[in-house]
Amino acid sequence: MNIITCYKSVPDEQDITVNSADNSLDFSRANTKISQYDLNAIETANQLKAQLDGIHITAMSVGGKALTNAKARKDVLSRGADELVVVVDDQFEASLPHQTAVALAAAAAKKGYDLILCGDGSADLSSQQVSLLVGEVLNIPAINGVNKIVSLSTDSITVERELENEIETLIIPLPAVIAVSTDINTPQIPSMKAILGAAKKPVQQWSVADLGLDAITVRSEQTVAAPKQKVRQRIIIEGDGDDQIAELAEHLRKILK
Q: Is the pLDDT of residue 228 over 80?
A: no
Q: Is the pLDDT of residue 125 over 70?
A: no
Give the pLDDT confidence of 49-74 residue by residue, as tens digits.
999 999 999 999 998 888 998 999 99
Confidence of residue 26 (pLDDT cuts 50, 70, 90): low
The pLDDT, as a whole number, for residue 220 is: 58
Q: If DSSP codes are grouped into helix, strand and coil, which group holds residue 117?
A: strand
C-alpha dihedral, 229 to 233 to 237 to 238, nearest 10°: 100
Least confident stretch, 9-13, 22-26, 201-205: 22-26
Least confident stretch, 80-84, 123-127, 197-201: 123-127
Rounded distance between C-alpha atoms, residue 257 and residue 253, angstroms = 6
Cut 0.95: pTM above it: no
The pLDDT, as a whole number, for residue 97 is: 86
**Average pLDDT for residues 136-145, to the nearest whole number?**
95
Q: Cis ω on the peptide bond leading into residue 141 (within 30° of 0)? A: no
Q: Is the pLDDT of residue 28 over 70?
A: no
Who wins on pLDDT, 96 or 184? Answer: 184
The pLDDT, as a whole number, for residue 129 is: 86
Least confident stretch, 9-23, 33-47, 62-76: 9-23
The pLDDT, as a whole number, for residue 244 is: 87
Confidence of residue 122 (pLDDT cuts 50, 70, 90): confident
Give the pLDDT confidence of 156-169 residue by residue, as tens digits.
999 999 888 899 99
